[in-house]
Chain A
Amino acid sequence: MLKTPAFKQVLAGIGAGALLFGLTACGGGDDSGDGGGDGLVVGFAQVGAESAWRTANSASVQSAAEADERIAELKFVDAQQDQEKQIEAVRNFITQQVDVIVLAPVVETGWTDVLQEAADAGIPVVLADRGIEAADEDLYVTRLGSDFTEEGRKAGTWAAETFAADTDGTRILELQGTTGSAPANDRKAGFFEVLDAEGLDYEIVDSQSGNFTAEEGKAVMETFITTHGLEGVDLLYAHNDEMGLGAIQAIEEAGFTPGTDIQIIIVDGSKAGFQAGVDGKLNYIVECNPVFGEQLMDVVVQVADGETVEKFTPVEEGAFDATQFEAELPNRQF
């Protein structure tokens, strides 16, 4: 009676352990080339696979590394949005003495120790996509990524032009990204910076976080509609596609016409976003480009060769209005 459950527990424990181990092995599954040659070995600690944007980003980096003769191997780790896992991945890269570490940090803080370890080991670190806090600026060579503030400014510029003739004041709803995240902070700051600079007469009706997901974007928009109504609201500014598309559903279900009754700006520019644009459901798309694999490989090689690079390298990004949606849709990669 006493032995059997204990034995079974151990067995199950081993089973669970094996399952977890198997998972880690999957997550760490590298997309290495042949591994030989005198090319660079690069470690890439990716955020996760939390969105279509991220998946496209991972695919772009992996295929660029594979096609690039200067890169011998890309060790790819998916951290599943967990900073602990990313720190662990960076430590492993240090132990394996890779030539360059590429890090797409989940959050901005808490990187001092592990990046110091990388510096002590003489391994240069390149940040991809997101940044880290200014205090740790010396611990990485350069950041290649989107200029979120600039994205906000593009949205703001369009809004300021579109509503310049709006004499009774422009009433704005905003769906923010994850509270405290760099893209949410900067897209908001850039947007209102331009509106203030252009002297647009506007009023923020409400501004809440939709956590970058369709689910919360839709839920928050439903509440906006029941609380404030949509009559007299001119513009919805959503910090990403998913929230914007969720909000469009909420607007339609409440019996309004998105894109007409209320103008909509989204940031990101996925296929689904552009499709909604072609269908006339939104009015302006600011691109946040995930396909920077080749650009990243160039930066990695420069850094490994010890060349001086700028502290920040912006990814090439555009912005599209209603006249351009249809032509741009086939070019979308995610």
Chain B
Amino acid sequence: MNAYAKRLLWPVLILLALIAVNIVATGVDFIVPSVNDDGRLGGAFVNILRRSAPLLLIALGMTLVIATKGIDLSVGAVYAIGAAIACQTIIDAPDQTAGGLVLAAVALALAATAAIGAWNGVMVAHFGIQPIVATLVLMIAGRGIAQLVTGGQIPKVQDASPFTELGRGAFLTVPIPIWIAALVLTALALLTRRTALGMLLESVGGNPEASRLAGIRSRGITVLVYLVCGLCAGLAGLIGAANLGSADANNGGLWIELDAILAVVIGGTALLGGRFFLLGTAIGVVIIGTLEDTIINVGLSSQWQFTAKAVVVFAVALLQSPEFRGWVLRPLRRRPEAPAPAQAEEAAS
């Protein structure tokens, strides 16, 4: 088993355990997709995937940023800005159902959020501001910007507007948000694993100065990564807004940055930069999404939501720690020199 598969092992097992719990609680219908009257795939698990799409997009961007030893706290606010720009542009127009208008609104929102991401990147790469500080500014100010865009109201897009298809529609029976998330995941995975970009990212995260001296344009790469992260957050905001047909500047994507960081960590990417695991992040996102349904399915009250999340995250973090596994397994092993394999495993991973 190579290091990559080993990293994915524990998150996958946790996810399977969660799915098993749900199947026991509600039956196999949980995992089997059903087809809705409108020809769209439904069912509990498909719904989870569809609802997880915005978080996945943000977590993928976050993974790349974290690979460069950075962090982006502004994604939740950027989500709100993207949603606000798109919805406001659409409701300001006379005919909300015009296809061209929707395309323009989407393009405008994506351009703005990419620019915001690039701004974060410039702050970090060119002005040497710590990522947590640089992005904290927009995390705080961003919702204010979104409120300025919407004038403090919640703009509601007509259900007839094609914009809502982004969140509610389906292509070949599969919901559009799942398509978008899968396409972005595939594109980023190919870009970082089939080209040198992934290695350059890890190199920049490992040591930006050494990478620069080795001839890598580390600043350009850092800016690019934050730009992609902003773009992903904006796209997530569009899907969220299209799903509801409205943009809530205050609550849209609230605390999603924390869930995204959580997903990245569950997926096996270290916050210290360097090695990153896009597929692991995707599994982390599905774990978080499934967890929220599990709480309802097993009949726990809302008060349990945060506690249950904490317990699962603890479990994943502990299982991923070779020291912890060595410590737990030590009594089970016969010989006293048992910790040795654990250390070897640590070195390997």
Contact = CB atoms under 8 A, between A and B. Distances in A.
A81 B244 CA distance: 23
Contacts of A206: 296, 299
Contacts of A227: 26, 44, 293, 296-297
Interface in A235-269: 242, 246, 249, 253-255
A214 B246 contact: yes
B211 interface: no
B57 to A, nearest CB: 15
Given A49-B147, A176-B302, A179-B303, A219 B51 contact: yes
A55 to B, nearest CB: 5
B251 A23 contact: no
Interface in B123-149: 123, 126-129, 133-134, 137, 140-141, 143-144, 147
A51 B154 CA distance: 8
B250 A49 contact: yes
Given A226-B47, A227-B44, A218 B248 contact: no
Interface in B1-50: 26, 29-30, 36-38, 40, 42-44, 47
Contact of A52 (B43, B141, B147, B153): B153
B82 interface: no
Contact of A215 (B129, B137, B143, B252): B252
B240 interface: yes
A50 interface: yes
Nearest to A255: B37
A208 interface: yes
A52 B249 CA distance: 11
Interface residues of A, number: 45
A19 B296 contact: no
A51 B243 CA distance: 18
A223 B301 CA distance: 14
B36 A222 contact: no
A48 interface: yes
Given A16-B137, A20-B140, A253-B36, A9 B127 contact: yes
Interface residues of B, number: 48
B156 interface: yes
A287 B339 CA distance: 65
B144 to A, nearest CB: 6
B128 A9 contact: yes
A289 interface: no
A170 interface: no
B330 interface: no
Contacts, number: 104
Interface in A210-234: 211, 213-215, 218-220, 222-224, 226-227
B251 A50 contact: yes
A271 to B, nearest CB: 9
B269 to A, nearest CB: 26
B42 A223 contact: no
B168 interface: yes
A209 interface: yes
B129 A208 contact: no
Contact of A246 (B140, B141, B244): B244
A223 B245 CA distance: 19
Contacts of B245: 249
A204 to B, nearest CB: 11
A16 B133 contact: yes
Given A49-B250, A50-B250, A176-B302, A226 B43 contact: yes
Contacts of B40: 253
Contact of B305 (A13, A26, A209, A213): A209
B152 interface: yes
A259 to B, nearest CB: 16
A5 B128 contact: yes
A52 B128 CA distance: 40
B243 A218 contact: yes
B58 to A, nearest CB: 14
A255 B38 contact: yes
A49 B246 CA distance: 16
A215 B255 CA distance: 13
B141 A19 contact: yes
Given A209-B302, A253-B168, A254-B36, A55 B128 contact: no
Contacts of A81: 250
B302 A208 contact: yes
A220 B121 CA distance: 36
A16 to B, nearest CB: 5
A140 to B, nearest CB: 26
Given A8-B127, A209-B305, A249-B245, A255 B36 contact: yes
Contacts of B129: 9, 12-13
Nearest to B37: A255
B244 A214 contact: yes
A220 B245 CA distance: 17
A255 B36 CA distance: 7
Nearest to B126: A8
B293 A223 contact: yes
B300 to A, nearest CB: 9
A215 B36 contact: no
A23 to B, nearest CB: 6
A246 B167 CA distance: 13
A8 B124 CA distance: 11
A235 to B, nearest CB: 18
Contact of B251 (A215, A226, A249, A254): A215
B296 A249 contact: no
Contacts of B44: 223, 226-227
18 contacts: A12-B127, A13-B129, A16-B133, A20-B137, A23-B141, A23-B144, A50-B250, A50-B251, A179-B303, A180-B303, A206-B296, A209-B302, A214-B244, A220-B296, A223-B44, A227-B293, A227-B297, A253-B40
Interface of A: 5, 8-9, 11-13, 16, 19-20, 23, 26, 48-52, 55, 80-81, 176, 179-180, 206-209, 211, 213-215, 218-220, 222-224, 226-227, 242, 246, 249, 253-255, 272
Given A5-B128, A20-B140, A214-B244, 12 more contacts: A9-B127, A50-B250, A81-B250, A176-B302, A208-B296, A208-B301, A213-B248, A215-B252, A226-B29, A242-B248, A253-B38, A253-B168
